[in-house]
Structure 1
Amino acid sequence: MHAEQMLLILCGGVSDMTLRPVFLLRASSVSALLASTVISAGSLHAAPAKAGKTAHPVQSQPHHKAPRIQQDPEEIRVSAERPLAGGLMKRQHAPEATNSISALAIQQRGAASSPLQIAASLPGVNFGSSDAYGLSVRNNISVRGLDSTEMGWTIEGAPGVDQAYYWPYTETWADNENISDITLIAGTSRINDPVQTASGGEMIESVRDPSHKRGGLVDYSYGSFRGQRIFGRLESGDIGQTGIRVMASYSRTASDNFTGPGRNTRDHADFKLVKEWADRAKTSLFISYSNWNNARLAPFTLAAWEKANKAGDNFSAGTYAGTYIPGQTTNYWKAYVYTRRNVLMSWQNEVSLSDTLRLHVVPYFHWSLVDSPGQTTINSNAFYWGDQKVNPGLSTTSTPAMIHSNQAEYATGVNAYVQYDPTRHNHLIAGYWYDHWNIEQSGGLTPLSANGGSPNATGRYVLRSPLGAIYAGTHFQESSQTNEFYVSDTQGFFGDRVKATFGLKTMLYYLSGTNEIPGGPYHFSSAFTQPMPRFALSWQVNHALQVYLNATTNTRAPVPISTFPTTYSVSTGKVTQAGNPGAKPEYAIGEEIGLRYYGAFHFDMALFNMNLTNHQLVALTYLNGAPVQQAISAGGETIRGVTAEIASKPFHGFSPYANAQYLHTTIDNNLAVNGDLLPTKGKTMVASPKFMANIGVNYTHGPFFANLAFKWVDSQYSTFMNDQSMPAYKTVDLGLGYHLPRISVFTKPTIRLNLSNLSNVSYLSSIASIQTNARPVTGIYGTKIAASTPSYYLSAPFSAMVTVGSEF
């Protein structure tokens, strides 16, 4: 469909500060064609453009006067500018550090790349992965030193986070071909989004709307490590005069681990239905399903990594065992395969009640079934169910077994808000979000067979008592209810050149649960109420220059699965995690001063300051042999720094792009360890590299396109005492592509080659387990605090993937 066919021109929408005609448009898929999409009406609560919305062709729709709501999250302004750096930098207006990647840039990346791998090029994003194809759970992301559990995550207006660990698992949301926009708001979140973890920022993903034209897309990819991917999408086009259009897609991705045994697979399906009533109402239903199996890689200590790196054996000495020998093998790879099934549904509804009043209602549903297993040994003479010693009824006294971490969970909720323009220069948002979440988690055991197999890889046939109770060291049920009320008002002055926004969000959080094993308290609960005020001021100096400042507050509830339940060792019956219902939520107060210039080149810079209390980190640990996430309380922290982004308009086909961040973090408290205090006050926070930079260039000439990206990440501490760090690293990625002429029904055939880690650098990608101190330390009160060893995830080596595909 041609871009000019998609424009719905609405008279009277041109700002007095605009130097060229600007069209108001209800279309989010336009950003895939015109990467100059910009977020409308900068205010603290304005939502970024949804790049998947497409207007009906002008000739097929009767004319209706569009509402004059300038804060409309669905409204996009499109100018005649050409895309900057292949869609890596969009023009922004919101008075907060906001960065986006358009569909154009996403389409040029590797077809199998995960959304987090794509977002790694955004300013201030610290990301590492053990896999080039988005199939590994061995990846971590942080922004301004705050990890993924301290960020809000939304997909199509619904929360995307797994509320057990606050981990996003964005790989299960949508396929790359269906993603129209990825937006990062660093340090805060939009006030009208359903997030409960956004003390460190928010990542927003939008899915393209179905096309008005019937057709589809197919592509096939093949690459290193027997990497393969197929993708197909069908589009109904406009179905008669109903205003309905539908798209559905399926993909399968698979690859071997780059070292050690195991093959990883991911089956994924997306479905989206859109119904429009001219300009007055729109509803869209998005459903996705994923079935993900990951043969995980073992983490490495720094010493083991250095030794393996010198040996040059592709780290094979530190991987899980590829064959099983009864009585000898204690780390068989099949006992560590992570499985995840995931369903996500979002039903977005937007109704214009009048020219000045609009209603948004988004019900959603999220379901997942997870198993994160490991290998252990059952000793019939010393086997515990909670704190009670039992006889599991095995024929041998020592039996190898798979220990599970099964999680069955679901979340339902609705987010509803109104947007109201009482005057031409005043814009109000008021809304309410409700969420109910429930989980049942158990750590049951299944004995391994003579060949290392398990009766059931999802833990269905675990050992049970005569009355049917699961023999385990951990078994609990939790449910939470989140209520959030929010209101925000933006007032414009001097012809809207100056805008001031005042907002308030209040979270009411309640969690309750039961321990289903003998020992600890049967019932536990936690509750808090947290108001979160915010303020922003922006000044549009002229068409090219904007200055803004803001002061925001955000909170994050304690991680449910690793904070409140009580768990036990199955071999000793001792407590491995004492439930802490008194844990307080993390609270963040942040300030920013920013400047944006959009002229001969585009430049965006933000200076930021943030103070955290009850700072909580998440790190890898092993619970009875199963790898799970552990919550760490780190007290207070101060974060300061500056982020800058720059890009030029295309010059002879070349579009250079660069961003950088300087980060200074300080631990504000001494850390409590073993009844003493570790002298950590004034130390640098873990996983917080002082410097990061991305430099890239896009090239487009006729049917040919290419992109080159360089990333540098400084060293980062892995202990609170700053006595061990993960080394700095540099990587280079390259992409090449060519648009072929039409071939029969294939209207836009394309071939592209994506090369990751072009120089094949061996490096550690991220910190797996954070520790207090890597060397023995004497506490402030004289206690000898023993050393503990951090571990790290391996990086993905050089990989290449070729993709051939076309629209039809």
Structure 2
Amino acid sequence: MGSIRLKVLSAGACLASLSIATASGAPQTAHRRPKAIQAPSKKPASMRSLETHSVESVDVRGGSTSANGVTNTTPGGGLMLRQTAARSQSTMTRDYIAKQSPATNVNALLNALPGVVSGSNSPIGDPSHDTVNVRGLTQAELGYEMEGAPLQDPVNFNVFSSDMVDTDNVSSIALTQGSSDIGAPFYSAVGGQVSVQRVQPGAKPGGLVDLSYGSRALRREFIRLESGEIGHSGVRSYASFSDTRSDPLRGLGFARRDHVDAMATKSWGDNNYVHAVFGWNDSLGTAQRYPTLAQYQAYGYNYGWDRKYSPEDTGYYQLHYSKRRDVLASLPTHLTLMHDGNESLTLDTTPYFVWDNGTYGGGENLSVTNSYQGTIAIPYLDTPNPVNGTQTAVSSDNERENSAGLTTAIAWNTAQNTLRFGYWYAYLDHSELESFSPLNLQGGAANLFGQYPIMVDGQVLSGYNINFKQQTNALFLEDQFHALNDRLNITAGFREVMISRSATNNIPGALFKAGGNYATPLPRFSASYKITKNDQIFLNATTGFHAPASEEVYIQLWDPTGRGRPTMTGNTNLKSEYAIGEELGYRHYGLLNATFTLFNYNLTNHQITSSGYVNSQLITQPLNIGGETIRGAQAEFGLRPWHHISPYLSFQYLHTELGNNYATGGDYLPTKGKEMVQSPKYSGSVGLSYDDGHFFGTVMGDYVGKQYSTFMNDQSIPGYAIANVAVGYRFQNYGFLKHPQIQLSINNISNDQYLSGVYGFAGSARARTGVYGTAIAASSPSYMVGAERMFVATITTGF
């Protein structure tokens, strides 16, 4: 199945005035907010804790000497924004984001934060797939949101972060390791939450321009136009457009991406505001090829798709592509319904809509006389260019998805207590059709994107014709108690998530209809205590669940070459993953900032999604590996800017242990007690930032230890260390140009060749005998290949 699922979204200009917020139960932000949104100090702390999702507001004025929002106020070079939430959380601001290549993406930026292991093919935002693990839990077990809207596929949980947002428009990225907001619009976030905050529209007209050029024929142009306040209406807005072109970082082909972000905001009265958010993305590019270990050892960075076509060659590079178009719209709104002294009633609501249309290509050889439409044999496949009884075709997975939802929360605030009740409803409609277009003798297709498919008796030749629907209802109740002048905060909450799914597959002989219903109670408790104004301890106990991933769980997958039998059978009995987690942490803020966290998780029915090739087509499949225990510790250190210097250090120790033997091949592999795949024991980052207002530079080094790729721990990739560097200079204003600057970014400065992560997992890399004596064949994991050295030069100016 064309199996790469994308739910792409979007995401703006920090100038002279910056509001840095410290979150409680929500991500922190570092961006300008309209003055009317600033919470007056006379309000009770319980009310302030919910307004703009923040507890503390600190105005930083006059500190910016940059056009792109750098203020040099965040410790650790922009990686250690002050936190007060009773849970592990890390936030990067414009002080870090703006000094990276603007062609990067959210997942690549996350790699600097504690607990994160990012495996990416490319640092420049092409349509390649990337992965993120947090505390040994995969990207599919994270929840991504931006301005109240979910950023990932509600069923497959894939995130293609290159399509989310232009990083020029991101004010902050917050990572909550191991838990999520109780009212967040997703249910898969067993491993944590990633919250992307946009830059807010400015009070004055203006804009920002970026021009980037670099290795692999990279060319990127970005422009943002800001309206300023429109008349005296209180309405501010901006719109941006970017265009990116490049060759892939490895192999043949190309990458193209066009992206639009837009936002308007209106604030009034007693902290009332509404944000209108819009995003559009259009991308097309050659898909990467993921090697096995043997293929990588034989060919290294030269392993990829074939340059020249010959009949029956399904590895020809032009057959393998990813084409996507996505639209996002959301309307986050905050209203103060009543405010009387120390009491208030507030309402937060966010309607959102996400539309996605994608086509993913692969290659396949079809038999002219021995092909099938489901269980029905095709006597003769009438195609134009068969060779030796075989017609080579491009296989196109065409999908279309609409997802709409509404989150609502009402809060009763008093001097010492905040009681919140919320509801989330979401509806998903997903359709997907596989088709085949015949190639000519030169390897060209009438249309690569499946618009002129092979027909059989008036129907499209296909292996699946899916219609999938899902409804989600979630309720939560949370109470937060404040005491001892807000030094002690205790929060208890309960969430119930109810999911209903229905799937049909209109293929002859296939199981036509299946589905599933899931309901899971999710209690949680947290507490924090401020020992001093700069020292805090916290405790967090949480639960989470992960419904079975992928619509393939409910249907059979067929193939014209399958001799009338399904090539993959769904498992409607697959159970939801459930997790119980605990954290104990300490924070200190001052000139030197430090955080320490111990964590423990126990998971049942742990699910991961694996990928591999069948007939040169990429297939994804959810796997249930049973129980798992995760324990570890993480630490983070950062210096407040001192003599223009800000160092940063993060570290994680991770211990994982599988609790069950792995079912495969009609038997079980003895995996109990083995380590989890893609879960290095040691990982960390070290960085140094210098910025005197004109000269600036950063260096960030990442280390990732050995990662297993099989559940039997008999194949792994070695640890690696990679360093990225950026240097630049800001000029004074020149005419209408505001703080123009030049910057050079270098990724993988030592040009190391390495495998950056595991893409497709396997039970065992060697043939084995199962627990009950069955012979179990060996299988080969596939891997992400890290990018070679990459230069990106950028010219930036405000106006």
TM-score of the pair, normalised by structure 1: 0.92
SS of corresponding position for 1:429? strand
Structure 2 partner of 1:98? 89
Structure 2 partner of 1:388? 376
Alpha-carbon separation, structure 1, partners of 2:173 and 2:474: 25
Matched, 1:118 2:109: yes
TM-score of the pair, normalised by structure 2: 0.93
Conserved in 2, the CA contact under 8 Å of 1:173 and 1:344? Answer: no
Deviation track 1:736-769 (CA, whole Å, cap 9, x = no partner) reads 0111111221112011110000000000011111
Conserved in 2, the CA contact under 8 Å of 1:775 and 1:788? Answer: yes
Aligned with 2:34 (options 31, 35, 55):
55
Aligned with 1:344 (options 312, 315, 328):
328
Conserved in 1, the CA contact under 8 Å of 2:154 and 2:186? Answer: no
Conserved in 2, the CA contact under 8 Å of 1:111 and 1:176? Answer: yes
Cα pair distance change 1:64/1:693, threshold 3 Å? closer
Matched, 1:238 2:229: yes
1:578 is displaced (CA, Å) by 1.1
1:626 is displaced (CA, Å) by 2.2
Alpha-carbon separation, structure 1, partners of 2:583 and 2:51: 23
Conserved in 2, the CA contact under 8 Å of 1:33 and 1:104? Answer: no
Conserved in 1, the CA contact under 8 Å of 2:51 and 2:271? Answer: no
Matched, 1:374 2:362: yes
1:30 is displaced (CA, Å) by 9.3
Structure 2 partner of 1:688? 679
Matched, 1:779 2:777: no
1:62 is displaced (CA, Å) by 14
1:179 is displaced (CA, Å) by 0.6
Alpha-carbon separation, structure 1, partners of 2:159 and 2:723: 26
Q: Give, as a single letter, the amino acid of the residue that structure 2 aligns with 1:555.
A: F
Cα pair distance change 1:590/1:448, threshold 3 Å? same
Matched, 1:161 2:145: no
Cα pair distance change 1:690/1:37, threshold 3 Å? same
Aligned with 2:272 (options 265, 275, 281):
281
SS of corresponding position for 2:96? helix
Alpha-carbon separation, structure 2, partners of 1:33 and 1:398: 66
Structure 1 partner of 2:309? 324
Aligned with 2:396 (options 391, 404, 407):
404
1:57 is displaced (CA, Å) by 8.4
Q: Which has the higher contact order (CA 8 A, sep 6+)?
A: 2
Cα pair distance change 1:614/1:151, threshold 3 Å? same
Alpha-carbon separation, structure 1, partners of 2:12 and 2:466: 44
Structure 1 residues 524-533 or 47-56, which shifts more?
47-56
Cα pair distance change 1:708/1:222, threshold 3 Å? same
Conserved in 1, the CA contact under 8 Å of 2:312 and 2:391? Answer: no
Cα pair distance change 1:102/1:34, threshold 3 Å? farther
Conserved in 1, the CA contact under 8 Å of 2:157 and 2:188? Answer: yes
Gap runs ≥5 in structure 2: 1-10, 61-71
SS of corresponding position for 1:330? coil
Alpha-carbon separation, structure 2, partners of 1:560 and 1:793: 21
The equivalences for 1:667-706 within 5 A come to 667-706=658-697
Structure 1 residues 168-177 or 505-514, which shifts more?
168-177
1:114 is displaced (CA, Å) by 0.6
Structure 2 partner of 1:25? none
Conserved in 1, the CA contact under 8 Å of 2:28 and 2:91? Answer: no
Structure 1 residues 159-168 or 359-368, which shifts more?
159-168
Cα pair distance change 1:384/1:624, threshold 3 Å? farther
Q: Give, as a single letter, the amino acid of the residue that structure 1 aligns with 2:372.
A: Y
Conserved in 2, the CA contact under 8 Å of 1:473 and 1:624? Answer: no
Q: How many residues align?
A: 766
CA RMSD between the two structures:
2.1
Alpha-carbon separation, structure 1, partners of 2:44 and 2:334: 12
Matched, 1:496 2:474: no
Conserved in 2, the CA contact under 8 Å of 1:218 and 1:231? Answer: yes
1:258 is displaced (CA, Å) by 3.1
Cα pair distance change 1:29/1:522, threshold 3 Å? closer
Q: Give, as a single letter, the amino acid of the residue that structure 1 aligns with 2:602.
A: N
Q: Give, as a single letter, the amino acid of the residue that structure 1 aligns with 2:322.
A: Y
Alpha-carbon separation, structure 1, partners of 2:167 and 2:650: 23
Structure 2 partner of 1:78? 58
1:246 is displaced (CA, Å) by 1.3
Conserved in 2, the CA contact under 8 Å of 1:620 and 1:769? Answer: yes
Deviation track 1:612-643 (CA, whole Å, cap 9, x = no partner) reads 11111112123554213221111111000001
Alpha-carbon separation, structure 2, partners of 1:204 and 1:351: 22
SS of corresponding position for 1:132? coil
Conserved in 2, the CA contact under 8 Å of 1:615 and 1:637? Answer: yes
Conserved in 2, the CA contact under 8 Å of 1:590 and 1:611? Answer: yes
Gap runs ≥5 in structure 1: 1-27, 310-314
Cα pair distance change 1:272/1:66, threshold 3 Å? farther
Structure 2 partner of 1:17? none
SS of corresponding position for 2:332? strand
Deviation track 1:203-233 (CA, whole Å, cap 9, x = no partner) reads 1111111111101111100000111100001
Deviation track 1:573-621 (CA, whole Å, cap 9, x = no partner) reads 3222212222211111100000001123100111000011111111212
Structure 1 partner of 2:247? 256
Conserved in 2, the CA contact under 8 Å of 1:161 and 1:168? Answer: yes
Conserved in 2, the CA contact under 8 Å of 1:482 and 1:507? Answer: yes
Aligned with 2:294 (options 303, 322, 347):
303
Alpha-carbon separation, structure 2, partners of 1:449 and 1:64: 72
1:792 is displaced (CA, Å) by 0.8
Matched, 1:109 2:100: yes
Alpha-carbon separation, structure 2, partners of 1:101 and 1:52: 12
Structure 1 partner of 2:588? 597
Alpha-carbon separation, structure 1, partners of 2:792 and 2:59: 35
Alpha-carbon separation, structure 2, partners of 1:66 and 1:214: 32
Q: Give, as a single letter, the amino acid of the residue that structure 1 aligns with 2:666.
A: G
Cα pair distance change 1:63/1:308, threshold 3 Å? closer
Cα pair distance change 1:35/1:95, threshold 3 Å? farther
1:649 is displaced (CA, Å) by 1.8
Deviation track 1:401-444 (CA, whole Å, cap 9, x = no partner) reads 001121111100100111221x2010122100000011111221
Q: Give, as a single letter, the amino acid of the residue that structure 2 aligns with 1:339.
A: K
Matched, 1:567 2:551: no
Conserved in 2, the CA contact under 8 Å of 1:562 and 1:630? Answer: yes
Cα pair distance change 1:597/1:280, threshold 3 Å? closer
Q: Give, as a single letter, the amino acid of the residue that structure 1 aligns with 2:224.
A: R
Conserved in 2, the CA contact under 8 Å of 1:50 and 1:180? Answer: yes
Cα pair distance change 1:602/1:376, threshold 3 Å? same
Q: Give, as a single letter, the amino acid of the residue that structure 2 aligns with 1:72.
A: L
Matched, 1:516 2:516: no
Conserved in 1, the CA contact under 8 Å of 2:610 and 2:760? Answer: yes
Conserved in 2, the CA contact under 8 Å of 1:30 and 1:51? Answer: no
Matched, 1:413 2:405: yes
Structure 1 residues 257-266 or 151-160, which shifts more?
257-266
